[in-house]
Every structure is written in structure tokens, then in C-alpha cells.
Amino acid sequence: MAMTVRTAIGFRWRPTGLDGHVEDFVRICADGEAQLALIANGYECGFSSCWPPASRLILDLFVAAWTATTGAVEDRLAAAFAQARARFLAAAPALAAADADFPDDVPGAVLLAVACHGTTMHAAWIGADTAVIVRGLAVIARTTPHTLRERFEREHPDRWPDFARVPNVLLRTIGPGAPDQELPAIATFEITAGDTVILLSKPSVHGKSLLGRDVAAAAFALPTPTVLVEKLAHLCFRDEAAPYAAVAVLRFDADRQAEPARDHGRACSA
């Protein structure tokens, strides 16, 4: 069944002395072959929780790499991720002045890239931002964040984690501390008309992720992407330790149900 997509992005920012803009963290664009959704974060050093220059750089590099690729969507996604990662590692040290006390502490980033083509969604990621697929009143699939808490839950499925003792610490980032050959996680999912794909930014170190039932209930109750994205951004921002909340929504409709795409579904350009 032919489908069309309606999209929206949402953002909340706390006054931190930094200048954060929605497209420093989340973007949606399209070319003739795929609908692309990206969410990222950046870190000036190991002590920072977000840093827009680094997240903006990894997003710019990915979009530039994506527009230069050809071939199957899954191959383009992997190639664009690898190119963006390599170029980020080369360019990131120039973003911040070197610290003599911490010479190896240079900017890093995380990135989740989703490419939807036909009835298939491909995802590639390093980090803890998450993509979920909502169908009806259920989350039917999601990516797996690279965090200590996620690993604990996977290794101890019968135990609920103590959020103070098992923090939401990142286990993987794009940075000089990670081996160059370390590949992003890759997953492929099937989507159908009526599905909603949602990208959510990572909670704070001791924050709680939104429950799947809450995300699904909001998606079911709010079919308009611009309304849904604002609701989800508000729910994410209740984590008071999070410096920002970023959300992307892609709602897939059968052609006969489609409404015009929102402005955020613009053409991808470097």
C-alpha cells in the first residue's frame, strides 16, 4: 500500500548559558528515495550533559554524507554514518580549546539516524536516543539505547533497576575514546499505514524514560503530528535534570487518508 508521511519536530530548552536551537538536536528531511529523521547530542567534555556545537556538527556531517551517497537505503545509511563519524573525529577537537589538565578530553557526540523507505524503516545509532514504532495502542518495536541501565535491564529482566544505583550512563559515544572500527548498532523494522515513528532524546543520568504505554496512548489519542510532538516534548521535559528535550514524529498514512506534509519534511541538503 502506498503511504504518505506527516512530520513534526518538538523541542524544549532550559536556560543554561548555551544557545540551543531545535535543529542543533533534531531534524527531519526527505529526498526522492527515503524519509530521514535524525536526533543527536554533543558533549564539550566528559563533564557536560549537552553542547550544541558538537550535536550540530554531527548532524551537518551526516546530512552532507547522506546527500552524497547512492544505492540501497540501508547501504546509504551505513555509509553516511561511517563518513559522518570519521569526519566528526577529525573536526571535533577544533571546536573547543585544549585543556592542559585533561588533554584527552575532547568533544564527543551521539547520533540516531532513521531512514524510512516504502514499508521499511532502517535505523543506525550510537548513543541513548531512542526510536519507537507505535501501532494502535502499543509500542511494537524500538531501538536499544547504549546505557548502563539498559544493559542492567537486559541482564536482569526480573529486577526493576534502582535509578540511583543504576544510572542512565552512556556506554557508547562518537569520540576518540571509542575504537575507529566500532560500528553503530543497526536494525530494520517493518512499518504500515497507521504507524507512528517517534524519536525521543535521552533522559538525564538519573531520569526515567517515558513508558511505552504513555507514548502509545499519546500517539493514539493525538493523530496530528504537530500536536503529538508538543505533548511528548512536554512529557520528556518533566525530567527536570534534562537540559533539553527533543522529539521527532513521523505519521504514516494510506494515500486516501493523507494530509499535506509539514514544513519539517523538507528536502535533505548539505
Going along the chain from its start, the domains and CATH numbers come out as 3-267 (3.60.40.10)
Q: How many CB atoms lie within 10 A of CB 78?
A: 18
Q: Give the pLDDT of residue 46.
A: 67
- Spatial neighbors of 156 by CB under 8 A, at least 6 apart, are none
- Spatial neighbors of 14 by CB under 8 A, at least 6 apart, are 242, 243, 244
Helix, strand and coil content of the chain, in percent to the nearest 5, comes to: 30, 30, 45
Q: Give the pLDDT of residue 169.
A: 83
Q: Give the pLDDT of residue 183.
A: 85
Q: Give the pLDDT of residue 145.
A: 92
Round to whole Å and give the CA distance between 4 and 178. 38
Q: Give the pLDDT of residue 154.
A: 76
> What tens digit of pLDDT does each residue of 170-191 get?
889 998 766 555 789 999 999 9
Which helix H or strand E contains 64, and what residues bound it?
helix 52-67
> What tens digit of pLDDT does each residue of 59-78 get?
999 999 999 999 999 999 99
* pLDDT under 50: residue ranges of the chain: 257-264
Q: Give the pLDDT of residue 69.
A: 95
Which helix H or strand E contains 217, and what residues bound it?
helix 212-221
Amino acid symbol at 144: T
